[in-house]
Structure formats: structure tokens, C-alpha cells
Structure 1
């Protein structure tokens, strides 16, 4: 399986419905639909509902996007509004 064919496993850590969290969710959904159709799996975790996961997963700021597959793990902090930066860090090629 080539790297391009490996689906991305993404986890977005947010804190409820704050403006930055909502923006991060919206930006991630748009980028996935436009640049990675069918090549991603996204899980959104609300740290207000599961605060223990912040420590377990080494999340120090929110929102944080974690790409766990393919390795190596990549973390991107912020609302994901800089699409070019996010795509470079995720190593997404159109």
C-alpha cells in the first residue's frame, strides 16, 4: 500500500462549542472534503466531556489536531484556518 493510499487517521481535540473549536471542526471538514475525499477517518473529542484524555494523549492546547496515521504522529494546534500549513503538516498531496 502506498503512502498516498494510506488513509489518514485524524483526531481533533476541542473544548465544547467555543469559537475556535467550532472553527477548527468546520475548517477540518472542509479540507477533508476538498483535499482528501475518502482518504481519512476523523474523530472529534470534546475534552470538556473527557478531560482525562488531555493528559493521556499529551494535549497541551486546544483545539489540537493529531494525525496518528500514517506515522510519524503530527500535531497541529489552532483553528486550522491556515489551510496550506495544515495540508503541509498532514502531508496531503492533491
Structure 2
């Protein structure tokens, strides 16, 4: 007898790279938090990295520009640069649409 099982939603591992408390960095953080709360509640980790405090991370993670969102999992690694105000673009990059 076959049983139907529902696969759990994937967990997202995200890192947001910022440059201090600039207006663009603050806006990017607010936008990503809003997206995570709305589309990934309870199934994501978001680590915020201030490159002024940890400059070595820029070369470690191949930072293209800041603010930059790095999606480590699920699936392929994705990098997205900007203030993330275009939610549709962010959702597509995260594989949520």
C-alpha cells in the first residue's frame, strides 16, 4: 500500500553582507527581514555580516557589491546585490516564485 507523504518545506540559509549602518544597508536589512517573515516564517536562518567589522569575509565569500544577499541553501548558491526593494526579483532569486 502506497502512502502519500508531504515533503517538508526546505530550510533556507541566508547571509546578508552590509557596509555599516548606511541608509542603503538599513533599507536592505529591513527588506530582507520583511521577505523572510512573509515567505519563510520559521524555515530560515539569516546571518547579517557587517563588512566594516569583518572585512576578511569579503574575499572569503566573493562579495560582488554591498548590500549583498547570499543564499547558501537550498539548491544552488545565489548572490543578489541591491537594496532588495524589488520583492519579485528577490523571490525569484530565492526560488520562491
Partner of 1:29: 33
Gaps of 5+ in 1: none
Deviations 1:3-30 (A, max 9, x none): x621100000000001110001000011
In the alignment, does 2:64 pair up with 1:60? yes
The structure with the largest helix share of the pair is: 1
TM-score (norm 1): 0.92
Rg (Cα) greater in structure: 2
Partner of 1:6: 10
TM-score (norm 2): 0.89
- Report the CA distance between 1:86 and its aligned residue: 0.1
Counting matched residue pairs gives: 92
- Stretches of 4+ moved more than 3 A in 1? none
Gaps of 5+ in 2: 1-5
CA-atom RMSD in angstroms:
1.4
Measure the CA separation in 2 of the matches of 1:54 and 1:29: 22
In the alignment, does 2:96 pair up with 1:79? no
